[in-house]
A and B are shown apart, each in its own frame.
Chain A
Amino acid sequence: MVHMKNVRKVYESSNTLALDGIDLTIEDGEFVFLVGPSGSGKTTIMKLITGEIRPTSGEIIVNDFDMSKIKRRKLPKMRRTLGVIFQDYRLIENMNVYDNVAFAMRVVGAANKDIKKRVPYILELVGLEGREKRLPNELSGGEQQRVAIARALVNNPRMIVADEPTGNLDPVRSLELMLLFEKINEMGTTVMVVTHEKELVNAFSKRVITIDGGSLISDGMDGYYSYEIE
């Protein structure tokens, strides 16, 4: 669950107002698209949710953690409730597919027998069975993104946050990936996809939150793109 109340964020180094009084709630189990043009504040919202930055003012609760007051040493615990996916996959290049996924379980101190059981199951879920020994550079873009999704899912997080996950993929692979997110959401995980791909958003009937100039422009439950991006 994400709850934002009157959130402002000013980047002090450049004195830029990135977010100006955002009020937003994402309930457990929801599937949400966060859309908006470049520089609108989408990435800032994502960074606030993952704890990379703190708000200048306002209140943010993410999976029961108060992100405006959270202590640095508590951040790892909070991040374990999230699964984060990036446009550029961010896989560890010298680890094979299996280890890239298992690594996320090792971080949380999972036992080896649990890792051996869970990783093959998740790899099968994302359609990567038989690719365990491959290195990231031996996989296609779509496959690499599936590894990133598997890594995000493996610890059974409460919420998946994906930042432009289809940015490097062709339309067919993008659609496949979105269907995978939908499947994950149907299994009970909250999903937030940050994107600016209009066709992709319109292909799904989901809640769309639109940001521009640091403000919330629209928040529609009707599942279509309610704001024209320039």
Chain B
Amino acid sequence: MRLSRYGYLIREGFRSIFTHGFMSFASVTIIMACLIIMGSVSLLSVNIDALIKDLEDENEIVVFVDEEIKDTADAAALQGSIEAVPNVASVQFVSRDDAMDRFMNQYDEDFGVGIDSDVFRHRFVIQLADIALMSSTKAELEAVPGVAKVNAHLEYASFFVTVRNIVSVVSLVLIVILVFVSVFIMSNTIKLATFGRREEIAIMKMVGASNGFIRLPFVVEGLVLGILGGGLAFVAEWGLYSLVSSRLVSGLAGSFISVVSFGTVAMPVFIVYMATGILVGAFGGVNAIRNYLKV
């Protein structure tokens, strides 16, 4: 195919967007709407996941050092062995003096009169990489020489793991359903848009146009509409998300939940929106005219 012919077909694709203005508008709007619904559910799921992760992080394990190890430096030296245990994400050493200070801070000044720091043990406050493995990590920590006792709230851990799993499954199912529904709606809109042009395609076939010649303007048109739909959906999602999250943070909910900033998820959202827009636009266009090419 000559280069000038490609130029003509690409121009035709762009021209067609304007000559079939209403259907182009409908296609872009549907692509946008589907992506925003899909994206909003995904972002809600990301936020719920982050919230659960925050709560999990607050569920610490406390490792008490054997009372035989009195010296602070000796106790602190155990940090290396504890850090070597798999699934340990962070370790913070708390000396018996620090432990007493923390304890005293929670009560009146008079309450601590006469209590000696020897009552408290040196300890390590640990956060885990995966809370689901808390039970096995606890056992491994208990096996570290110099460790007297490990305090871990296994029941909380299993609760969080269950909640996280349910949220993951529910959001995954929801997203998969939405993807199918969206692709179905989007491809049907494009089919509807091309239905009115079946006569035009029949004429092209009758004057001897090859399938490639007929397809290319539809691919260009679908691609442009898809990019437009994906881009506009991204901008709209950005605005919508920022609005809702700022309302949440400034409102009552902001005191107990934190919202994932759009900046941290912007790139993946942009890539997914554009990729979906391009795929649905281009393949939707080709798929929609497939039947009309069989003449």
Determine the distance from Cα of A84 to Cα of B200 in the docked complex, in whole angstroms. Answer: 15
A80 within 8 A of B: yes
A84 near B5: Cβ-Cβ < 8 Å: no
- Asked if residues A151 and B208 are in contact (CB atoms below 8 Å), the reply is no
Stretch of A2-10, A103-111, A206-214 contacting B (4+ beta carbons < 8 Å): A103-111
For the complex, what is the distance from the CA of A125 to the CA of B93, rounded to whole Å?
A: 97
Task: Report B197 CB to chain A, min CB distance, Å.
Answer: 9
Given A90-B199, A90-B203, A92-B203, is A79 in contact with B208 using a C-beta cutoff of 8 Å? yes
Interface size class of B (residues with CB under 8 A): 20 to 34
Q: What is the count of residue pairs linking A and B with beta-carbon distances less than 8 angstroms?
A: 49
| B267 contacts the other chain (CB 8 A) | no
Residue of A nearest to B206 (CB): A84
A155 to B206 CA separation, bound complex (whole angstroms): 13
Residues of A within 8 A of B (CB-CB), count? 24
Given A94-B19, A111-B4, A112-B4, residue A77 in contact with residue B199 (CB < 8 A) = no
Contact B295 A103 (CB under 8 A): no
From B199, B207, B295, A107 is in contact (CB under 8 Å) with B207
Cβ-defined contact, A107 with B2, below 8 A: no
Q: Output the residue of A50, A79, A82, A91 with the most chain B CB within 10 A.
A: A79
Q: Which of A50, A52, A94, A107 contacts B209 (CB 8 A)?
A: A107
B4 with A90: CB separation less than 8 A: no
B210 at interface, CB cutoff 8 A: yes
Which of A50, A92, A107 is the one whose CB lies under 8 Å from B213? A107
> Which residues on B sit within 8 Å (CB–CB) of A112?
4
Given contacts A52-B295, A92-B200, contact A79 B5 (CB under 8 A): no
28 A-B pairs within 8 Å (CB atoms) are namely A52-B295, A73-B210, A73-B211, A76-B205, A76-B208, A76-B211, A76-B213, A77-B208, A78-B208, A79-B205, A79-B206, A79-B207, A79-B208, A80-B208, A84-B206, A91-B203, A92-B200, A92-B203, A104-B208, A106-B5, A107-B204, A107-B208, A107-B213, A108-B208, A109-B1, A109-B5, A111-B4, A155-B207
Interface residues of B (CB under 8 A from A): 1-2, 4-5, 8, 19, 199-200, 202-211, 213, 295
Give residues in A with beta carbon < 8 Å to B: 50, 52, 73, 76-80, 82, 84, 90-92, 94, 103-104, 106-109, 111-112, 151, 155
